[in-house]
Amino acid sequence: MKNKKSPLSLHLATKAIHGLDIHPRTGSVSLPIHQTSTYRFTKTEEAVRFAEGDESVYVYTRYHNPTTDDVQRNLALLMDAEDAVLFASGMSAITTSIFSLVRSGQEILSTPSLYGGTYRFFRDELPKLGITVRYFDPYDLPELKKLINENTALVYAETPTNPTLEIVDLQKLVKHVHNAEEKLSRNIFIMIDNTFATIVNQQPFNFGVDVVVESTSKYIGGHSDVIGGVAASRKVITKRIRQTAKSLGGSIDPFVSYLLHRSLKTFPLRVEKQNENALALAKYFENHPKVKRVIYPGLKSHRYHRIAKKQMRHFGGIVTIEVNGGAERAERVVDNLHVAINAMSLGGVETLVSIPVYSSHVNMNDAELELHGVTPGMIRISVGIEDINDLKEDFNQALRV
Ligand SMILES: Cc1ncc(COP(=O)(O)O)c(C=O)c1O
């Protein structure tokens, strides 16, 4: 199978559907599922070739699978990356990529506002292996330059962040890291979790980032029915990631790869609609008497709207609101919704709501919540593709109960 050769320069929505020539021999329009754990050798000589490093010989699905390979190539095409590696979850993409690039004795510098799972991995797992994580203020980048030292292996950031939707200036971040690299005369990897923005709204590689990770359980999957993750980068880096993935074993199932491929076809279309609905809902909340605060990067009132405008095409499908009365009141609002569903996760076609102190930021003490900017009265809304009038009406009645 090959990348479709076209004399046209295709846009994202077209690439999402026609990215690859699928099965040129049989003419199958949809992607075949190679639901197999292992592969028959025609001759033992093939097993020997694999042992000698020939990656084109399929041997075992934890290492590689034709369906997954096609989806990875399609994702790489969409993400403008040399290569992409799929995983069994977003956390697997993040942890495996980090283990492949950082070793014991080295350190990671990260923005403090992170997905709770990533933060807990940094807090609970990495120190056991002798990897330190220190946090920098993304709005004081000269401080980051001061923190970078001989042991710094990786700079990690999420933008927009979960659930406070803070925006990290990618251009400035990369510039400061590159300046520090010059002084140290060695490379520091920059990894961005692009799950919230997605490649439809933000292209981190344009700013010189090394690795982009995304939970494909969210917008790429888009139907709240799969768990998966992707790490995209240059081939020299994905080679390391693939090698580590073989040992850690977080490989994606071929059927999930197939579902992701199916989802990719409507991915830009879905995200465009989610962008549109989220902006409309955020504007509606701005004038709602029962909403204490609305956070959405597309609003002029957002603290980092200027940076968001500079680096994002549109502003994504997540809106966070804060209500008076803390978690108790947030609970009442959420429990009175009829259209929006009270469920964790995000990025699906259906609107989901969650209370961060009970979901992404559970098991964090007050100081940690403050560090992440999370308050008990916050409700995170992952806006779906429903009719916007129904969403407005649903939130209006729930806020007034
Ligand atoms: C920003 C972000 N990154 C990573 C993850 C982890 O992805 P997964 O649940 O697919 O492991 C999540 C999950 O909620 C997330 O919101």
Q: What is the pLDDT of residue 22?
A: 56
Span from the CA of 122 to the centroid of ligand 1 (angstroms): 14
Q: What is the pLDDT of residue 364?
A: 83
- Return per-residue pLDDT of the chain as tens, 401 residues: 345 566 677 889 988 888 766 556 677 888 999 999 999 999 999 999 999 999 899 999 999 999 999 999 999 999 999 999 999 999 999 999 999 999 999 999 999 888 989 999 999 999 999 999 999 999 999 899 899 999 999 999 999 998 899 999 999 999 999 999 988 888 999 999 999 999 999 999 999 999 999 999 999 999 999 999 999 999 999 999 999 999 999 999 999 999 999 999 999 999 999 999 999 999 999 999 999 999 999 999 999 999 999 999 999 999 999 999 999 999 999 999 999 999 999 999 999 999 999 988 888 899 988 888 899 999 999 999 999 999 999 999 999 99
Question: Which of 159, 218, 352, 372 gets mutated to test ligand 1 (max ligand atoms within 8 A of its CB)?
Answer: 218
Residue located nearest, by CA, to atom 15 of ligand 1: 115
Q: What is the pLDDT of residue 2?
A: 44
Residue located nearest, by CA, to atom 7 of ligand 1: 90
> How far apart are alpha carbons 155 and 134 in whole angstroms?
10
Provide the CB-side half-sphere exposure for 182 (13 A, CA): 5
Residue located nearest, by CA, to atom 9 of ligand 1: 90
Span from the CA of 397 to the centroid of ligand 1 (angstroms): 30
Span from the CA of 346 to the centroid of ligand 1 (angstroms): 9
In the chain the domains, ranked by start, together with CATH numbers, are 12-264 (3.40.640.10), 268-400 (3.90.1150.10)
Q: What is the pLDDT of residue 113?
A: 87
Average pLDDT, the chain: 94
Span from the CA of 101 to the centroid of ligand 1 (angstroms): 20
Span from the CA of 400 to the centroid of ligand 1 (angstroms): 32
Question: Which of 91, 248, 352, 361 gets mutated to test ligand 1 (max ligand atoms within 8 A of its CB)?
Answer: 91
| Active site positions, annotated | 62, 115, 193, 218
Q: What is the pLDDT of residue 5?
A: 61
Ligand 1-lining residues (CB < 6 angstroms)? 89-91, 115, 117, 158, 162, 193, 195-196, 215, 217, 227, 229, 345
Residue located nearest, by CA, to atom 8 of ligand 1: 90
pLDDT tens track for 326-349: 999 999 999 999 999 999 999 999
Q: What is the pLDDT of residue 4?
A: 55
Q: What is the pLDDT of residue 1?
A: 38
Minimum-distance ligand 1 atom for the alpha carbon of 344? 14
